[in-house]
Amino acid sequence: MKEKATSISDLIAKKPINQTVVVKGWVRTFRNNQFIALSDGSTIQTLQVVVDFENTAPEVLKKITTGAAIGARGTLIESQGRGQSVELKAAEIFIFGEADPEKYPLQPKKHSLEFLREIAHLRFRTNTFGAVFRVRHQLAFAIHRFFHERGFYYMHTPIITASDAEGAGEMFRVTTLDLHHPPKTETGGIDFKKDFFERETNLTVSGQLEAELGAMALGKVYTFGPTFRAENSNTSRHLAEFWMIEPEVAFNDLDDNMDLAEAMLQFVIKDALDNCAEDLDFLSDRLAQEDKSKPQDQRSEMSLIERLHFIVNNTFERLTYTEAIDVLMQSTPNKKKKFSYVIEEWGADLQSEHERYLVEKHFKKPVILTDYPKEIKAFYMRVNEDDKTVRAMDILFPGIGEIVGGSQREERLAVLQARMREMHIPEAELYWYLDTRRFGTCPHAGFGLGFERLVQFVTGMGNIRDVIAFPRYPGNASF
């Protein structure tokens, strides 16, 4: 079957009734030797293909099974059945590839997300994952559009790097040395001078430092690339390989930075609502179903769709870390020691239970926390007048916790050097970063949005491993 197929989404939208069309896709179900539900990825909807079983060879009929790739040529007609507007009266069925029903793992029944993770190479073929990956695409596209329309340049920062941007030491090493027989230095250490790059290198944890260099000439830049963290956090919010969006803007301060992040999040979520209505309706229903099996107090008050509209239509609550600590110390779960980490004093690092309390219980809307203690934040954040806090901002979302982390950057050379000494960050290695503060320094700010956390929020998927095609996490690098 060589003719070009028309996509199912086009057929449903344009309804070329009584015309001969060709469709190609995968069989979801085949009922009564007659009705095929065909999916081709262009929409969550399947097209009903009605087989002319009297004029179709029995060997062909036998091969129409769940998972098989087929083509169908026939006439598009108004549908008699409920739930669909058009169907295809097939004159010819062509089998591209069979799927042995004895062996094909994806039978048309409900599979658990855990099981589907084990067959991640096939899970795209379910309604849930089809919807997730279409929405993921839409969000990625919307992000590029948001920045492009506002005069930002998309900058590709390196994936292999010699610096630890976040200073957290959670990096994957990159080496070509023979690990069984590494070259040694005179003092017995490993001689990285003999390594590929003649120095120690790793996978990047963030493109920020390089993005700052770009912003100091191009004005407004953003990155959108993979980042890698070897933190051993086996949670539903962490991946070892995730995608991050990092805008960086010269002459922006923290308020500008918050405005930009809020506008971007609202823009991309609205874009998904406008362009992925069917998929989001499906995911909203899925979540409502899942919710039913939860205890009453853990169910969400809003449906997924309502939650997305809520974000688009409401401003985010902005408050300082210090104000947030006051709220938390006064809170019932803190007083009753219901938190796993009870907040005892100013300076405590916030855990996701605290972040979620603020967002879900106290303010009931997205929250931007600013001005964190400098001890718990990265070296590059601008130090406030009080010399205790830095111009940091974290955006906290319901069900997710931290979705964005950013700051106004320390643009004063001497202050930055002092911070680096305090935090034992070698100046010599970051001479290039410090050069921007030596030559034409200016206030600037940026942030990082965890792309998978955004996709999680928009799709309502509970586990971050279900919003990236092939998740990498401790103990898993399959596929």
Binding stretches for ligand 4AD (CB under 6 A)? 165-166, 206, 208, 229, 231, 238-239, 242, 244, 246, 402-407, 446-448, 450, 452-453
CB-wise, 40 or 411, nearer to ligand 4AD?
Answer: 411
- What is the distance between the alpha carbons of residues 391 and 409, in angstroms, rounded to a whole number? 8
Beta-carbon neighbour count of residue 235 at 10 Å? 12
- Give CA–CA dist 89/217, Å, rounded: 61
Q: How far is the CB of 120 from ligand 4AD (least distance, A)?
A: 17
Question: Looking at residue 46, what DSSP letter applies?
Answer: P
Minimum gap (Å) between residue 241 Cβ and Mg ion: 17
Selection from Mg ion, ligand 4AD, none that 10 binds (CB < 5 to 8 A by kind) is none
Give just the sign of the alpha carbon dihedral 409, 410, 416, 419.
Answer: negative
Q: Cβ of residue 260: shortest distance to ligand 4AD, in angstroms?
A: 12
Applying CB under 5 A, the span of 60-68, 80-88, 248-256, 400-408 interacting with Mg ion comes to 400-408
| d(C-alpha 171, C-alpha 179), whole Å | 17
Q: Which is nearer to ligand 4AD, 45 or 384 (CB)?
A: 384
- Min separation Cβ 168 and Mg ion, Å: 10
Handedness of CA 323, 327, 328, 330 (dihedral sign): positive
Residue 187 CB neighbour total at 10 angstroms = 6
Query: Which residues within the stretch 292-311 sit at the binding site for Mg ion (CB under 5 A)?
Result: none
At its nearest, how many Å lie between Mg ion and the CB of residue 406? 8
Nearer to ligand 4AD, 366 or 405 (CB): 405
For the CB of residue 407, give the shortest distance to ligand 4AD in the complex, in Å: 6
> What are 152's two structure tokens?
């930002």
Nearest CB to ligand 4AD, comparing residues 244 and 324: 244
Would you say 222 or 357 has its CB closer to ligand 4AD? Answer: 222
With respect to Mg ion, which residue has the nearer C-beta, 404 or 458? Answer: 404
Q: Least distance to ligand 4AD from the beta carbon of 23, Å?
A: 38
Spatial contact of 239 and 472, defined as CB atoms under 8 Å apart: yes
Q: Identify what 278 binds: Mg ion, ligand 4AD, none; CB under 5 to 8 Å per kind.
A: none
Residue 238 interacts with, from ligand 4AD, Mg ion, none (CB under 5-8 Å by kind): ligand 4AD
Nearer to ligand 4AD, 126 or 407 (CB): 407
Pair type for strands 153-154 and 173-174: unpaired
Q: At what angle are helices 208-218 and 431-438 packed, to 10 degrees?
A: 30
User: Total residues contacting Mg ion (rule CB under 5 A)?
Assistant: 1
Q: Could you give the CA distance from residue 259 to residue 252 in angstroms, rounded to a whole number?
A: 10
Identify which of residues 40 and 371 has a Cβ nearer to ligand 4AD in the complex: 371
Stretch that binds Mg ion, among 119-127, 139-147, 404-412, 451-459 (CB under 5 A): 404-412
**Contact window for Mg ion (CB under 5 A) among 68-76, 200-208, 235-243, 402-410:** 402-410
CB 36 within 8 A of CB 70: yes
CB 105 within 8 A of CB 67: no
Per this entry, what is the length of the chain? 479
Q: Which residue has the tokens 């967002």?
A: 359
- Decide if 213 contacts 249 (C-beta within 8 A): no
Instruction: Provide the minimum distance between the beta carbon of 394 and Mg ion in the complex, in angstroms, as a whole number.
Output: 6
Contact partner, 246, from Mg ion, ligand 4AD, none, Cβ < 5-8 Å per class: ligand 4AD
Q: Which one, 71 or 405, has the nearer CB to Mg ion? A: 405
The Cα–Cα gap between 59 and 310 comes to 54
Identify the residue among 25, 74, 405, 406 touching Mg ion (CB under 5 A): 405
Residue 161 CA to residue 204 CA, distance in Å, equals 6
Backbone angles phi, psi at 95, to 5 degrees: -95, 115
Please report whether residue 71 would count as binding Mg ion according to CB under 5 A: no
Of 24 and 238, CB closest to Mg ion: 238
Q: 67 touches which of ligand 4AD, Mg ion, none (CB within 5 to 8 A by kind)?
A: none
Both tokens of 178, joined, read 């023979």
**How many beta carbons lie within 10 A of that of residue 230, not counting itself?**
15
Nearest to Mg ion of 28, 238 (CB atom): 238
The listed partner (Mg ion, ligand 4AD, none) that binds 51, CB under 5 to 8 Å by sort, is none
Dihedrals φ, ψ of 299, to 5°? -75, 150
Residues with Cβ within 8 Å of residue 118, at least 6 apart in sequence: none
Which of Mg ion, ligand 4AD, none binds 403 (CB below 5-8 Å, type-dependent)? ligand 4AD
Nearest residue to Mg ion, scored by beta-carbon proximity: 405
467's tokens: 């919003």
Cβ-based burial of 119 (10 A; exposed 0-12, middle 13-18, buried ≥19)? middle
Per CB under 5 A, residues contacting Mg ion are 405
